[in-house]
Amino acid sequence: MKHLLTIAGSDSSGGAGIQADLKTFAAHGVFGMSVITAVTAQNTCGVTLVQDMTPEMITAQIDAVFSDIRVDGVKIGMVSRSESIHAIAEGLKKWQPPVVVLDPVMISKSGYPLLQPEACAALIRELLPLATLLTPNLPEAEAICGFSIKTENKMEKAAANIIALGAKAVLVKGGHLEGSSADDFLFDGTQGLWLPGIRIQTGHTHGTGCTLSSALAANLAKGLSLEEAVRAGKRYVTTAIEHGIALGKGHGPTHHFVDLYKKAGMFES
């Protein structure tokens, strides 16, 4: 069994962050471990408060896991402060995991800022060059690249810019494109590939980005090629969104275990 580590924030409502990552790992048949970077008070309607872990606590968690357990892949999600980013970067350079998927979480679905403005530069400088794969949505890609991204041509330009900054590969997600297109662009510095995306009419999409990046980390750690890992991850998250759970008063979560529930005869449509 592969062992996957998520380094991210905790979501008290269970739909995103560490909780979504661990559910996704379990659904992919890998053993999940966690380093908590922050505790958030949030529900399906939004985030009300964030409490960051100290850099020392982040480092201690990383060292505790790596010193005892083989880590086959790492997914990085919410890291809000420059000090946290530096601690994570130093830990990754020390332990050198074979797979690092970086989801540059900058703002919650409800609009709460999850990455402090001054920390964006630290993320680009310290974490991006360590990434096997970066998974920005369009607003995140705009923040990294410094220009507006409204078209597929600009998505390709953004991908090239991100590779130039040091990432080994990037998946620029097109869900924020206007119109009917929601295609994603995968680029490894040599070959670019457009992957079709469909818009699913649902309000229950809480944790989608966390879920996709965790699926990608699991697939890469299990030995799939970059293209295979992304195609499989997109299929997984699409099914999870199609069967999103009507939980709470706002944006409900995706259904991480729909396939397993179906096989067990437990699924309720």
Strand order in the sheet with 73-76: 46-52, 31-43, 3-11, 73-76, 100-102, 133-134, 170-172, 184-187, 192-195
pLDDT digits (tens, 9 = 90+) for 6-43: 999 999 999 999 999 999 999 999 999 999 999 999 99
Asked if residue 198 has pLDDT above 90, the reply is no
pLDDT at 106: 82
Tell me the average pLDDT across 159-173.
Answer: 97
> Is 269 domain-assigned?
no
Asked if residue 221 has pLDDT above 80, the reply is yes
> Is 102 domain-assigned?
yes
pLDDT at 65: 98
Q: Give catalytic residue positions.
A: 173, 205, 207-210
pLDDT at 131: 98
Write the DSSP symbol of residue 253.
B
- Higher-confidence position of 114 and 65: 65
Asked if residue 176 has pLDDT above 80, the reply is no
pLDDT digits (tens, 9 = 90+) for 60-82: 999 999 999 999 999 999 998 99
> Is 114 domain-assigned?
yes
Domain housing 226? 3-263
Stretch (H or E) spanning 18: helix 17-27
Percent composition of the chain: helix, strand, coil (DSSP 3-state, to 5): 40, 20, 40
Tell me the average pLDDT across 231-256.
Answer: 93
- Higher-confidence position of 221 and 259: 221
> Is 268 domain-assigned?
no
Tell me the average pLDDT across 237-265.
Answer: 90
Q: CATH number, domain at 129?
A: 3.40.1190.20
pTM: 0.95
The region of weakest confidence among 5-14, 107-116, 192-201, 250-259 is 107-116
> Is 185 domain-assigned?
yes
pLDDT at 118: 81
Asked if residue 180 has pLDDT above 70, the reply is no
Give the separation between CA 88 and CA 23, rounded to whole angstroms: 22
Please check whether residue 32 is in contact with residue 26, taking contact to mean a CB–CB distance below 8 angstroms: yes
Query: 109 falls in which pLDDT band (50, 70, 90)?
Result: low
Tell me the average pLDDT across 211-237.
Answer: 97
Tell me the average pLDDT across 97-111.
Answer: 84
> Is 217 domain-assigned?
yes
pLDDT at 261: 86
Asked if residue 235 has pLDDT above 70, the reply is yes
The region of weakest confidence among 84-93, 173-182, 233-242 is 173-182
Asked if residue 222 has pLDDT above 70, the reply is yes
Residue 164 C-alpha from the chain's centroid: 21
Structure tokens, 36: 């908590």
Percent of the chain with pLDDT over 70: 96
> Is 46 domain-assigned?
yes
- Higher-confidence position of 176 and 110: 176
Quickly list DSSP for 35-71. EEEEEEEEETTEEEEEEEPPHHHHHHHHHHHHTTS--
Percent of the chain with pLDDT over 90: 78
Q: Is 178 left (phi over 0), alpha (psi -120 to 50) or beta?
A: beta
What residue type is assigned to position 71 of the chain?
Answer: V
Total number of domains constituting the chain: 1
Q: Which residues of 125-143 are buried (b: 16+ CB within 10 A; e: fewer)?
A: ebbbebbbbbbbbbebbbb
